[in-house]
Structure 1
Amino acid sequence: MRIGPHALPNAVFVAPMAGVTDRPFRQLCRRFGAGYAVAEMVAARPDLRGTAKSRLRGRHEGEPGPFAVQIVGADAAAMAESAAWNVARGAQVIDINMGCPARKVCSQWSGSALMQNEALALRIIEAVVAACAPQGVPVTLKMRTGWSAAQRNAVSLARAAEGAGVQMITVHGRTREQGYAGEAEYETIAAVKAAVRVPVVANGDIDSPEKAAAVLAATRADAVMLGRAAWRAPWLLRQVAHYLATGRQLAAPLTLEVRSALLDHLHAHYALYGEAAGARSARKHLQRMLGGLPGGDAFVQSLMPEASALRQWQAVADFLMLLAERHERLPGEAPIRSQVA
């Protein structure tokens, strides 16, 4: 699997998720076997590019390459300028967001709203490719199957994007109208794969090794991309990669290994955001990753008022040590209220 000049170790990717896929989380996913991880989207508008939040999103020190930045916007010139700005600061891949279904993004005619205007979408793609070409930086595209069930135009947009120089296309198997509701469909992804020669990545509802294999078989895609499932259980990435490579299930990770990885992740998280802000923003990660473990939901709820990064870290260390004393390998997860929410 390659993206332009970049060879990737496997075909199991982590989706860009706003507020989630920062540098510490991407490093955690790489530690558990992800072949590729895309940074959370950054706005192309110059007045938003220099904010503290945007600067943090652009941090990639110590991260294995290729470092991919996803940009979002509705103006071709601004998107091209943003691409060049990020490349100058170390981006090795630029990903164009035409898949975000959020109302505040689509109301600006950005994200998946661009699928309603293929002419504008193509102008943006052409401008971004032209901005990245002098540095040899590949441009990729992430999109949905279409705006609505009546407007599934992923195939035509994929063909146009390939013709404009995009080097990889990721398709989430839902329309913008669906948001994250219902079930993903893979027929459109298969049609995109059949229509283009560049690598195609299948995204949507991939939450187990068996599902990843089934989606690849159904779509003939070149790779799979996990989003919410990888946030809940980053160690799933290793299990998916192993199953795709060997056809055999990998045992659950050792609980002490998960403990070490999550504690290191918290350290990196606090270092990036500062202890006070880091303790607050770490809560959503702890809720996702620990909530489904035995006793995890009650533990996380009890930890929510904790404002000290040191006490939060120690509480997680103690909880996972007690879990390791009872379970050598990480026990199976159960669906819980916080994960559904």
Structure 2
Amino acid sequence: MKIGSIDLGERPVLLAPMEDVTDIAFRLLCKQFGADMVYTEFISSDALVRYVNKTTQKLTICEEERPVAMQIYGKEVEPMVEAAKIVEAAHPDILDINFGCPVKKVAGKGAGAGMLQNVPKMLEITKAVVDAVKIPVTVKTRLGWDSDSKIIVELAEQLQDCGIAALTIHGRTRSQMYTGEADWTLIGEVKNNPRMKIPIIGNGDVTTPQQVKEYFDRYGVDAIMIGRASFGRPWIFKEVKHYMETGEELSLSFDWKMEVLRKQVEQSIERLDERRGIIHVRRHLAASPLFKGIPNFRDTRVAMLRAEHKEDLDAIFDRIIAEHGGAAHQQ
């Protein structure tokens, strides 16, 4: 699959853009484990054009994570165009526009998935951004605003006419947020529309290597994007690649996975500081499937998520490995 001149190979698997998750350390980890392309956290165009420090920090990328896409969002043409030019100057491989974020503080103000209620403005922004930069521009969006307005099949053609180089579709409406099941049938319908010429990337509820293969086979998408299933499990890309190549599940030891989580903690602390780094990585520790099924784990989980110092977390990790390591509790 190619986006512009960027060749991602056959059936690439991508790390989705996620706020407070896909920082540079996590992107590098997922890249190391086989993600074919990674995305930054989304960047507010309004904050970027005002050069808000916390926002401009998101422009930092490194050569080892390429190809990397930067994602911006906003609801007005001029700041989106200006932000696109600032992003282009940071030299990502791809610029992605977020028309899919469902959270109230974004969609409720008309940006992100809120744009699904104002398609003319969405198309105006897309065309203006495509015309403003030389790097490939892609879009990520949802099926529609709600169950009565699943407009994605027609919208995909309109976005393609704006000049985008690829389209990512999350198989939910905005009103669903992240509840219910992602509907991949409409993603497949977009992909199988003979008028669509650009790559279609599917996203939503992909949690196992088996699903990745099934969705490629069933819906014919050009790429699959993994989001929440990577929380506390960056090795999912390694598992997916192995399964796609061999048809067999990859066996990774509990101890090995624990060391990956330990590395995540260390990298987060290095990037931020001890206090903020540990707070940042708690989301991954809380969501990691590694601890599911371990009996009587509640008190350990509480201690792990309350720990404020690296040495305390290390001690808890050592205890978990000592008590539950070896071949036990394989995912």
Say how many residue pairs are matched: 326
Q: Is the 8 A contact 1:293 1:331 kept in 2?
A: no
Cα distance in structure 1, aligned partners of 2:47 and 2:54: 13
Q: Which digits, 9 at most, give the CA deviation of each residue in 1:247-274, with x for residues without a partner?
A: x123221334323332222222112111
TM-score (norm 2): 0.91
Residues 49 and 70 of structure 1: is their aligned pair in 2 closer, same or farther, counting only changes over 3 Å? farther
Cα distance in 1 for partners of 2:261, 2:294 equals 17
2:130 and 2:162 in contact (8 A); partners too: yes
The aligned counterpart of 1:172 is: 170
Q: 1:303 to 1:259 in 2, by over 3 A?
A: closer
Given that residues 13 and 36 in structure 2 are in contact (C-alpha distance below 8 angstroms), is that contact kept between their aligned partners in structure 1?
yes
Cα displacement (A) at 1:324: 7.0
More displaced stretch, 302-311 vs 122-131: 302-311
Distance 1:131 1:145, change over 3 A: same
1:144 to 142, 147, 168: 142
For 2:129 and 2:106, locate their aligned partners in 1 and report how far apart those are by CA, in whole Å: 19
| 1:292 matched residue in structure 2 | 292
2:122 aligned with 1:121: yes
2:251 is aligned to 252
* Structure 1: runs of 5+ lacking an equivalent: 333-341
In the TM superposition, residue 8 of structure 1 has moved relative to its aligned partner by 2.1
Q: Note the C-alpha offset of 1:286.
A: 1.3
SS of the aligned residue for 2:66 comes to: coil
Structure 1 residue 244: Cα displacement: 2.6
Cα offsets for 1:213-235 (capped at 9, x unmatched): 22222221011111111214222
Q: Distance in 2 between matches of 1:108 and 1:4?
A: 32
Q: Is the 8 A contact 2:45 2:79 kept in 1?
A: yes
RMSD value, Cα: 2.1
Give, in whole Å, the separation in 1 of the partners of 2:46 and 2:71. 13
Contact kept in structure 2, 1:74 and 1:109, CA below 8 Å: yes
* Residues 99, 111 of structure 1: 8 Å contact kept: yes
- CA distance in structure 1 between the aligned counterparts of 2:255 and 2:70, rounded to whole angstroms: 32
Change (3 A) 1:325 1:189: closer
Question: Structure 2 vs 1, CA of residues 186 and 304 (structure 1 numbering), >3 Å: closer, same or farther?
Answer: closer
* 2:5 corresponds to: 5
Would the alpha carbon gap of residues 27 and 97 (structure 1) be closer, same or farther in structure 2, given more than 3 Å must change? same
1:152-163 residue pairs with structure 2 within 5 A? 152-163=150-161
The answer to whether the 8 Å contact 1:242/1:250 transfers is: yes
**Higher mean C-alpha deviation, range 106-115 or range 298-307:** 298-307
Retained in 1: the 8 A contact 2:139–2:166? yes
Q: Which amino acid aligns with 1:155?
A: V
Q: Give the CA deviation at 1:316.
A: 5.2
- 1:100-119 to structure 2, matched below 5 A, reads 100-119=101-120
SS at match of 1:233: coil
Is contact 1:101–1:112 with CA below 8 Å preserved after alignment? yes
Q: TM-score, length-normalised on structure 1?
A: 0.88
Contact kept in structure 2, 1:45 and 1:78, CA below 8 Å: yes
- 1:179 deviation in Å? 0.8
Question: SS at 1:71's partner residue?
Answer: strand
**Equivalent residue, structure 2, for 1:218:** 218
Tell me how far apart the structure 2 counterparts of residues 48 and 331 of structure 1 sit (CA, whole Å): 47
1:87 aligns with 88
